Amino acid sequence: MNIPQNSLVLYKNAPARIAALGDKLDIELPDGRSLRVRPKDVLLLHPGPVHRLNELDMPAGEIEAACELLEGSQTTLSELAELIYGAYTPAAAWSAWRLLDEGLYFRGTPEAIDVRPLAEVGQERAIRETKTLEREAWNGFLQRARANHCAPEDLHYLQEIEEVACGQREQSRVLQALECQQNPSSAHALLLRLNHWSESVNPWPRRIGAILEPPTLSLPNLPQEPRLDLTGLPAFAIDDEGNRDPDDALSLDGNRLWVHVADAAALTPPDSAMDEEARSRGATLYLPEMTIPMLPLAAIEQLGLGLAEVSPALSFGLNLDADGKVTDVEIAPSWVRVQRISYQTVEKRLDEEPFRTLNELAQQHRNRRKSNGAIFIDLPEVKITVTDGQVRIEPFTRLRSRLLVAEAMLMAGEAAARFALERGLPFPFTTQDIVAEISEREPSSLAAMHTLRRRLRPRQYSSQPSPHGGLGLEIYAQVTSPLRRYLDLVAHQQLRAFLRNGEWLDAQAIVARVGAAEIAAQSVRRAERLSREHWTLAYLQQHPGWRGEGVLVEKRMPRSTVLIPCLAMEARVKAGESIAPDSVLSLRLTGIDLPEREAYFRVG
């Protein structure tokens, strides 16, 4: 390649002037620097002469006219420069090279340049303009994000971060660009820093994969079948104020207790579409901010006890013998006339009938369970509600009326389990093994309750009957919430099939349903637990000056565990070595890490 002195060459994609010739070339760069390079390191653009590299700019020229003239053919750099700029000069050669290097109108090498059709050029230009705008938007977002704020036009990038925060994707180029860890907690923290999320956003149900839409399946009609008429017995659905899915009620016929339960299985036969939907959910999802029912809302409206003048129910009749054991069990589909009433109202009427006798039966059954080694743990509980992002936490008041209802539900569960066992009916029994060396089964101190709870084994569901040690019952099954728990619904399906001489599920089918329902229900319980923790921290974040009392329940160094009764919350704090368990400590909130579900307190 013959390269004359003062010619225009290309060096590392920039123009250069040949200042001197030799075995190597001395070149001058636009910034005035001089370099010695090999001839093969440069590409001749124009033989020159070129004296000043700062005089290479050219007007736009007739680019599209040249494209139309040359369409479908090849050309060279010199011909292209002459067509576009009217002369093959160093400046024209450099401008033509820049067009070739840009690749929009022309492609190839200086000796073989292909001309692109103008229609293709238009498409390419639109693509490039879009990419330019995207790049500008991306850089603008990153600049704002590094300053810890965002703008409305950043929504696309923020949605990507949200997907990581909610466990819907694992990687995000946004997190990578901002040097954040690729995990949900890091994404959550970033969204808080950008003020795109506040404490009123609860990501946990979505992160766990909980179903957050209610079922919308249509309901069949209530079957025409004989039902025991119990409308003459006053029946009471006792629950919290505002409860929306009343599924149990109590009646007395002399000293005979009737526990009426919403007849959900009447509309949900095994393997129906609604049964499969309920099985996939496992249970109703109760969150402080919303409730997602297991069954369609129409089923609750039709079957909820006391929502209509007369309600269909599956009623469990039973008596207690002198030892408080359930006897004379009768189970029947029924019609009941239910009055809805609150725990607080019943608490004031415990000296009146039928509540006096109901309470006596409850105490009798409780005493029997106590003599059988039942475990009673009375740790603080609270009700958390969220309205328009504002969190409210109210301690549950310990009422005898609550114990009355809870004991009646246990009686019904014991009655159903005995009924199934005596008839060889496959059933989803509830069991719990107990560590034999537990000495104090009704501890009075919070520290002892905390320790005992940690030692308990979880309850289990089984197709085989076995004692429920925690309840002090030889046999038990949950049957009083078929609108809210799938295995309660399965128990009802079995009972209805037996009572109607139909075909019931075999033990293998029960085992399969237990497995599927427990997997789904575990997800529901985890979503509920983590959501309660989230909203408790959100409450504290809304009350930054919070002060209160905690009870030391576990002594460890350097941080011990305290239970905060008014929040039903555990926290780790530094406490002196001399402080004994069950000591009451004054606590002051010092900080919150919402993504990590951590609150920090100081004693004093």
CB atoms closer than 10 angstroms to residue 518: 17
The answer to whether 443 touches 449, Cβ cutoff 8 Å, is yes
Whole-angstrom distance, CA of residue 270 vs CA of residue 161: 42
406: left (phi over 0), alpha (psi -120 to 50) or beta: alpha
pLDDT tens, position by position, 530-588: 999 999 999 999 999 999 999 999 998 889 999 999 999 999 999 988 899 999 999 99
CA dihedral 162, 163, 164, 167 (to 10 degrees): 120
Residues 549, 588 contacting (CB under 8 angstroms) = no
HSE-CB of 313 using CA atoms within 13 angstroms: 37
Report the C-alpha gap between 191 and 165 in whole angstroms: 9
Residue 360 has pLDDT above 90, yes or no: yes
Confidence of residue 212 (pLDDT cuts 50, 70, 90): very high
Sequence-distant (6+) residues with CB within 8 A of 86 are 61, 92
Encode pLDDT of 409-440 as tens digits: 999 999 999 999 999 999 999 999 986 677 78
CATH architecture of 543-603: Beta Barrel (2.40)
The Cα 446–Cα 330 span in angstroms is: 40
Mean pLDDT of 225-229: 96
Q: pLDDT-based confidence at 72, cuts 50/70/90?
A: confident
Most confident of 30-34, 61-65, 557-561, 592-596: 592-596
Helix (H, G, I), strand (E, B) or coil at 189: helix
With 0-12 CB in 10 A as exposed, 13-18 as middle and 19+ as buried, what is 448? middle
Closest CA to 551 of 517, 594, 595, 581: 581
pLDDT of residue 1: 61
Lowest average pLDDT, out of 26-35, 59-68, 146-155, 219-228, goes to 59-68
Question: DSSP alpha helices (H): ranges in 53-169?
Answer: 63-70, 77-85, 90-102, 118-146, 155-165
Neighbours of 203 (CB within 10 A): 23
- Sheet strands side by side (includes 235-239): 228-229, 326-336, 311-320, 256-262, 248-253, 235-239, 338-342
CA dist 173 and 195 (Å) reads: 20
Domain ranges for the chain: 8-119, 120-197, 228-529, 543-603
Query: 431: which 2 tokens?
Result: 């069991």
Give the chain's radius of gyration (CA, Å).
Answer: 39
How many whole angstroms separate alpha carbon 312 and alpha carbon 320? 25
| Alpha-carbon span 213 to 241, nearest angstrom | 25
Is-contact 304 261, C-beta < 8 A?
A: no
Beta bridge partners of 9: 16, 44
State the Cα–Cα distance between residues 290 and 573, nearest whole angstrom: 32
Instruction: Tell me if residue 15 falls in helix, strand or coil.
Output: strand
Residue type, 297: L
State the residue for tokens 């095994």.
270
Cis peptide bond prior to 558, omega within 30° of 0? yes
Residue 377 has pLDDT above 90, yes or no: yes
Closest CA to 539 of 297, 277, 273, 202: 202
The span from the CA of 412 to the CA of 258, in Å, is 8
| pLDDT confidence tier of residue 56, bands split at 50, 70 and 90 | confident
507-542 and 273-281 helices cross at what angle (nearest 10)? 50
* Lowest mean per-residue pLDDT among 61-70, 229-238, 352-361, 432-441: 432-441
- Give the number of C-alpha atoms closer than 13 A to the C-alpha of residue 82, restricted to the C-beta side: 8
ω into residue 184 within 30 of 0, thus cis? no
User: CA-CA distance, 382 to 363, in Å (whole number)?
Assistant: 25
Query: 338 has which bridge partners?
Result: 235
Closest by Cα among 296, 312, 302 to 263: 312
Of 110-114, 124-128, 324-328, where does the model show the most confidence? 324-328
pLDDT tens for each residue of 8-34:
999 999 999 999 998 899 999 998 899
- List CB contacts of 181: < 8 A, sequence separation 6 or more: 175
End-to-end CA distance of the chain: 87
pLDDT, average across residues 318-322: 96
Task: Label the pairing between strands 74-75 and 8-11.
Answer: unpaired
The CATH architecture that domain 120-197 belongs to is Orthogonal Bundle (1.10)
pLDDT of residue 450: 95
Say which residues have a Cβ less than 8 Å from residue 565's Cβ, sequence separation at least 6.
380, 395, 446, 549, 550, 551
Mean of pLDDT values over 199-207: 97
Average pLDDT in the 39-46 region?
A: 93
Give the sign of the dihedral formed by CA 162, CA 168, CA 174, CA 175: positive
Closest by CA position to 401, among listed 463, 480, 342, 320: 342
pLDDT score at 52 = 86
Mean pLDDT across the chain? 94
> What is the pLDDT confidence band of residue 57, given thresholds at 50, 70 and 90?
confident
User: Which of the 8 DSSP states describes residue 442?
Assistant: S
CA–CA gap between residue 584 and residue 13 (Å, rounded) = 76
Greatest C-alpha distance within the chain: 121
How many residues in the chain? 604
